[in-house]
Copies of this chain bind each other. A is one copy, B any other.
Amino acid sequence: MEEIEIEELREQLLTAIQKRDRQKVIEIFDTVPNIDIAEAIEDVDDVKALLYIFKVVDNEYAAEFFAELSSDQQELIINAFSDKELVELINESYADDITDAIQQLPANIVNRVLKVCPKEMRNDVNKLLNYKEDTAGSVMTTEYIEMKEDTSVKDAIKIIREKGRDAETVYTIFVRDTKRTLTGTVDLDDLIFAKEDEILSDIMNRDFVSCNVNNDQEDVAKMFKRYDLTAMAVTNDENKIVGIITIDDVVDIIEEEVTEDIARMAAISDMSDPYLKTPVYKLVLKCVPWIIALMVLQVFSTLILSGFEAEIGKFAILAVFTPLIMDAGGNSGGQTTTMIVRSLSLDEFDKKDYWKVAWKELRVAAVIGGIVSLFAFGWLMFEMSVGIVDTKSISDVTPLVVKGELLIAALVAGTLFVTMIISRMVGCSLPFLAKLIKLDPAVVCGPFTTTIVDIVSLITYFLIWTQLINPAFFGL
Which residues of A line the B interface, CB within 8 A?
Answer: 3, 29-33, 35, 157, 160-161, 164-165, 170-171, 188-189, 192-193, 206-207, 209, 224-228, 230, 247-248, 250-252, 254-255, 258-259, 261-263, 265-268, 271, 274-276, 280-281, 283-284, 287-288, 290-292, 294-296, 298-299, 301-303, 305-307, 309-310, 312-314, 316-317, 319-324, 326-328, 330-332, 334-335, 338-340, 342-343, 346, 348-350, 352-353, 356-357, 360, 363-364, 367-368, 371-372, 375-376, 379, 383, 388-390, 392-393, 420, 450, 454
Contact = CB atoms under 8 A, between A and B. Distances in A.
B294 A327 contact: yes
B188 A165 contact: no
A451 to B, nearest CB: 10
Contacts of A371: 284, 288, 292
Given A31-B207, A388-B302, A281 B324 contact: no
Given A192-B161, A367-B281, A302 B320 contact: yes
12 contacts: A29-B207, A188-B188, A254-B254, A266-B335, A268-B335, A275-B357, A291-B420, A295-B379, A302-B321, A302-B323, A309-B319, A313-B314
Contact of A316 (B157, B276, B312): B312
A301 B30 CA distance: 60
A193 B343 CA distance: 45
Contacts of A321: 302
B302 A389 contact: yes
A454 B335 contact: no
B207 A192 contact: no
Contacts of A310: 316
| A30, A252, A283, A390 — most chain B CB neighbours (10 Å) | A283
Nearest to A3: B350
A284 B367 contact: yes
A207 B338 contact: no
A360 B306 contact: no
**How many copies of the chain does the oligomer comprise?**
2
B225 A292 contact: no
Q: Is the interface of A mostly helix, strand, loop or mixed?
A: helix
A305 B331 contact: no
A266 to B, nearest CB: 4
A328 B276 contact: no
Contacts of A340: 275
Given A230-B247, A288-B368, A390 B309 contact: yes
Contacts of A379: 295-296
Nearest to A372: B291
A322 B322 contact: yes
A275 to B, nearest CB: 4
Given A283-B360, A320-B305, A227 B328 contact: no
A420 B31 CA distance: 49
A287 B368 CA distance: 8
| A31, A276, A287, A352 — most chain B CB neighbours (10 Å) | A287
B230 A323 contact: no
Contact of A319 (B322, B357, B390): B322
Given A161-B193, A294-B327, 5 more contacts: A263-B338, A276-B356, A288-B368, A306-B389, A319-B322
A177 to B, nearest CB: 15
Given A290-B335, A295-B375, A363 B312 contact: no
